[in-house]
Structure 1
């Protein structure tokens, strides 16, 4: 396909195609998505585009971003916060602003990166996202009431997607093995191949088979304590009403 033919299909000028091909101008997210559609690719161009934004993320997180992009299934447990892939911009800003010594510019870059990461949930073939969170996350006043209400409504919206499941672990389940920290497990082609764990001072990514197996067992044990999906949605709706009060 010539540059002119591609330009006509994408709705861009010949010169824009030329500049992107020669790495003289970075493509936009829309450009990447249109290329995927035109060439019948399974998100390849979008993943490459995402790779160009990783430098805006904290260095410790970059290895995980690469693994996250390739996953067909993501399983996550979070005892304290809404998972990053489901955070609203205002909620993410509140969380990322708490880092000691962080500048306003760094916060804006990291919020933008977090929002960009969420695009994997809206591509043509998104990964299945199985989220288990502590009920406390829906009640905690980690931000102002408006931000919390907006965040909870966003959870309800995302929960309507067929590839997303959200479950809450109730207070009655405590103590349980998930209280020591959150984590995410990435799966591709039926095999769990990477994981990310929360830790101090920063989280870490690993691919050790035994450690991943241990996390899978822990995830299954935590999820066994969670209430069913429909009941979890009802509890989130109740939490929204409390922030309305």
Structure 2
């Protein structure tokens, strides 16, 4: 078989191809980065970083670009390829991320770790490393993808977001004092956004519903709600109304036992002051 010939002369490397397409589409539109940012409602510097390859951006940003340029799913498809190996995420999780990007409301309960949308880069790195990813390109890509997802909570059209954290999440912190303080400060900072509400489920509440299941609810633009449930080994997208309602009932019961947002902020501030200095740095 003869060697494959380059037809377009464009890069065959997914990340570079994504960057090239972004530049090409904006050039064809005749817009500056500042004009693009003004039209779509994101800071223009984000698009500059995307076009220079510094970041891939989040799915909602890429979907907005597809709509703006009139390229249905083209840029999003290239984004998925550029994010890494197409098998990097299971299809169910990739579908969840796509739904998360367009959700008008997100509610989450985390029994063990800080939710992905609220993690700092360092926390995400430590967590994914402990989860089995070796330092290198794959781990860096996973951290970048998680950081890109955080942009869902800011900018135009950001969803209403509520997270209930079990007290365990805040008691089992990072061993490095400065890294853990950074994460706690980030939690305090993000709750100052008008669309974000954070509550802590204290140990004093005793045994409650969903004791070991990370659960998220997505309110979609058409009005229906889907759920994502995850353990340490697997995750599942739940779309059947009856099952979603049962999960929602359990979540509402948890919320009844949680600290108020104000009490939660005070709780985290106390932890920030008490953050211990470890005897050894595990780096």
TM-score bracket, normalised by the shorter chain, equals: 0.7 to 0.9
Conserved in 2, the CA contact under 8 Å of 1:78 and 1:134? Answer: yes
Q: Is the 8 A contact 1:91 1:143 kept in 2?
A: no
> Could you give the per-residue CA deviations for residues 86-111 of structure 1, whole angstroms, max 9, x where no partner exists?
00000000000122364532111110
1:7 — aligned with what?
A: 30
| Alignment check: 8 A CA contact 2:128 2:139 kept | yes
Counterpart for residue 76 of structure 1: 108
- d(CA) in 2 for partners of 1:94, 1:109: 14
Q: CA deviation at 1:7?
A: 2.1
TM-superposition CA deviations, 1:72-124 (whole Å, max 9, x none)? 00000001111000000000000001223645321111100000111111121
Q: CA RMSD in A?
A: 3.3
Counterparts in 2 of 1:18-97, with a 5 A limit? 29=57, 52-55=78-81, 56=83, 58-60=88-90, 61-97=93-129
| Unaligned residue ranges in structure 2 (runs of 5+) | 1-24, 36-51, 278-283
Q: Corresponding residue for 1:20?
A: none
Q: In structure 2, how many angstroms separate the alpha carbons of the residues matched to 1:8 and 1:229?
A: 43
What residue is the counterpart of 1:123 in the other structure? 155
TM-score, reference length from structure 2: 0.69
Gaps of 5+ in 1: 13-24
State the distance in 2 between where 1:35 and 1:59 align: 19
Cα displacement (A) at 1:153? 0.2
User: Distance between the aligned counterparts of 1:3 and 1:138, measured in 2?
Assistant: 44
Query: For residues 151 and 86 of structure 1, what CA distance do their matches in structure 2 show?
Result: 9
> For 1:193, which of 220, 225, 228 is the aligned residue?
225
Q: Is the Cα contact below 8 Å between 1:53 and 1:113 reproduced in 2?
A: no
> Could you tell me which residue of structure 2 aligns to residue 18 of structure 1?
none
**Cα distance in 2, alignment partners of residues 50 and 80 from structure 1:** 32
Larger Rg: 2
Using CA pairs below 8 Å that are at least 6 residues apart, which structure has the higher relative contact order? 1
Aligned length: 226
- In the alignment, what sits opposite 1:204? 236
Per-residue deviation at 1:10? 3.8
CA offset at residue 195 of structure 1? 1.3
Task: Pick from 235, 238, 245 the counterpart of residue 267 of structure 2.
Answer: 235
User: How far is the alpha carbon of 1:147 from its aligned partner?
Assistant: 1.4
1:184 and 2:216 are equivalent in the alignment: yes
Q: 1:52 deviation in Å?
A: 4.2
**Alpha-carbon spacing, 1:135–1:11, altered in 2? closer, same or farther (3 Å):** closer
Residue 53 of structure 1 deviates from its aligned partner by: 3.5
Whether 1:171 and 2:203 are equivalent positions in the alignment is: yes
Change (3 A) 1:158 1:52: farther
How far apart, in 2, do the equivalents of 1:116 and 1:99 lie?
20
CA shift in 2, pair 1:80/1:11, >3 Å: closer
Q: CA deviation at 1:202?
A: 2.0
